A and B are shown apart, each in its own frame.
Chain A
Amino acid sequence: MKELLKAEFGRLFRSKMFRILVILDVLFNIYLIYGSEITGTVSKTPYVYIEVTQLTMLIFVEVYSFVAGAFISLFISREYSYGTMRNKIISGHSRCSIYLTELIVCSAAGMILLAGCLLVVAFTHFKYGILDEEAGYLIKMVIICCILVIVYNALIVFFSMLIDSKASSVVWSVIFVICLTVFSSMVNSKVTNDEYARECRSNGKEYVHSDIFDDTERKVYTALDSTLPMTQLMKTFTMTNFVDYGDGTGYVEEFIPPKGEETARFAVIDAGLIAAVTVLGIVFFRKKELK
């Protein structure tokens, strides 16, 4: 496996497409920070640095999911079209180690892109400064981002390893990410509506009765809301909220820090998801007939 890893990392670093992606990644993140500065997206709370970081990382992971769909499929399916997959098996490597090697290399590529994003974000603290408590929030966000990048990689590697055709593999991966994003938004909006309606009901305000789930529905939707990568992202990276304290000042913008228990819960769920998808992928890949 060590040799395989060496060879695959060599292929990754020699890949022109990967180099172009790293450059685009840095430029895109600089543009994001510049854009949030000029359009006034950054709020007036004291946590300016963490808000800029949150916004940049949120968009990074969203965009990464689509880019990874195309990049990983192209990177892996090349092995089928060049016949290197068969060569690896003939030279005595197990299918399990081939699968794991691809997952590790693609995850490393994702981490390098994430590091590019963090590098750009790190420079902004010269402008905004960083508060002591912000360091803790930053660590939580980085942990969730790393895990989500690996989750997306695991899902896309699963498709790419099982589909021989390069073009079909790209189509299925990108369409899968699009469907996952749409589905996650629908689930998240349903859960948010349910929570809002329940809150209104308990406060005696007006609410839409049909927005409230029954017990089974609520369990299913809450489970989905905690499991889907995109909803985890939306929950972790909700930056500010407008709160009315009823003291006559009206709605005040308030910073929402990422919660520690939630980060840990998401990390455990994601670890389970990665393990399940990888085990399934290895089982199918071992049964796959290689022409």
Chain B
Amino acid sequence: MIRLLKAEFGRCLKGKLFWLMVIFTFVMGVSCNVVRYIDFRRNSNEAANEVVYNDTMLYVGLISASVLVGIFVVFHAGMEFDEGTIRNKLVAGNSRSAIYLCNFAICSFASIVMQYIFFFAAFASSYAFFGAFHHPFSVMMQLQLMGSLGIVALTAFMLMLTMILRSKTISIAVCLIAAVVIFAVGTIVTTDITEHSIELSDYGEEIMSPEKYDILDRYSYVYGVDSENCKGKELFIKEQLYDGLFQCHVYRFSSERELPYHWQYMLIYDIAIIAVTTAAGVFLFRRLDLK
């Protein structure tokens, strides 16, 4: 397996794909801040000394990670099916589990490298242009570490799809649609939960109609209160998605000033996703008929 890992690392570092993705994430990290800075300069005529806290820009890379990870995983791991290198590896005596785990290690490594390149590029440019963050650096690093675990979970999921589907073309279509779905579901769950909790705390039972209040009460997530203390199964499901979906994690990283509520649950969900998707992927890949 070590020889396989060495060969895979060599292929990854020698390939154009990895470096193109690295350059792209670096440019994206810097350009986000440049655009924000231009916009800020244009809008800040009256208060030139206004302090801008630019924390949200540090997490744009994580928000768009599902698309980037999907593209990298499919073009790296899916290429092996098209070029026939998977069969060569099997003929050379490597087990299917070892091949799968090697691909997982390389794709996770590349995804984490891209994540940190975006983070440091965004941090440096943001510091140069604005110079202020709500988060202390230690909290940022803790959030990025949690983000890394989420990225690995995302990689495990995308790799499972790629290795099962075999065709690079079908895989890229499925992975990109999956990325869009993850993004949409994460956004909808976060919006629903935060919007309803704001409505509940701002208006209360006295002002809104009883039906409206009942609906909100059933579907709302009250910050800091577990679902057992609220009504409804739907809320329970939404709360689990809120704690389990990578996209929801990222929205919470950028909107809160310390480690988010239920951060331990986030880690547990990420580890569970990695374990389940990798086990399922290895199991299905071992049974796959490779023509």
User: Residues of A at under 8 Å CB distance from B?
Assistant: 39-40, 66-67, 69-71, 73-74, 77, 166-167, 170-171, 174-175, 178, 208-210
Contacts and interface: CB of A to CB of B under 8 A. Distances in A.
B201 interface: no
B215 A167 contact: no
Interface residues of B, number: 22
B238 to A, nearest CB: 11
Interface in B71-92: 71, 74-75, 78
Contacts, number: 48
- Interface SS majority for chain B: helix
- The interface residues of chain A, by DSSP majority, are classed as helix
A67 B169 contact: no
B71 A171 contact: yes
Contact of A39 (B44, B211, B215): B215
B168 A209 contact: no
Interface in B208-228: 211-212, 215, 219
B164 interface: no
A174 B180 contact: yes
Contact of B176 (A171, A208, A210): A171
Nearest to B39: A210
A74 B165 CA distance: 15
Given A67-B177, A174-B176, A178-B180, A167 B74 contact: yes
A166 B75 CA distance: 12
A73 to B, nearest CB: 7
B45 interface: yes
A66 B46 contact: no
B288 interface: no
A74 B169 contact: yes
A167 B169 CA distance: 5
21 contacts: A39-B219, A66-B177, A69-B176, A70-B173, A70-B176, A71-B173, A73-B173, A74-B169, A74-B170, A166-B168, A167-B78, A167-B168, A170-B169, A170-B172, A170-B176, A171-B71, A174-B176, A174-B177, A175-B67, A209-B46, A210-B43
B63 to A, nearest CB: 11
Nearest to A174: B176
B14 interface: no
Given A39-B215, A178-B67, A170 B173 contact: yes
B172 A66 contact: no
B42 interface: yes
Interface in B136-170: 168-170
Contacts of A70: 173, 176-177
Nearest to B75: A167
A210 B169 contact: no
Contact of B180 (A39, A66, A166, A210): A66
Nearest to B211: A40
Nearest to A62: B184
Contacts of A210: 42-45
Contacts of A77: 169
Interface string B176-192: 11001000000000000
Given A166-B169, A167-B74, A171-B71, 12 more contacts: A39-B215, A66-B177, A66-B180, A73-B173, A74-B170, A74-B173, A167-B75, A170-B169, A171-B172, A174-B176, A174-B180, A178-B67
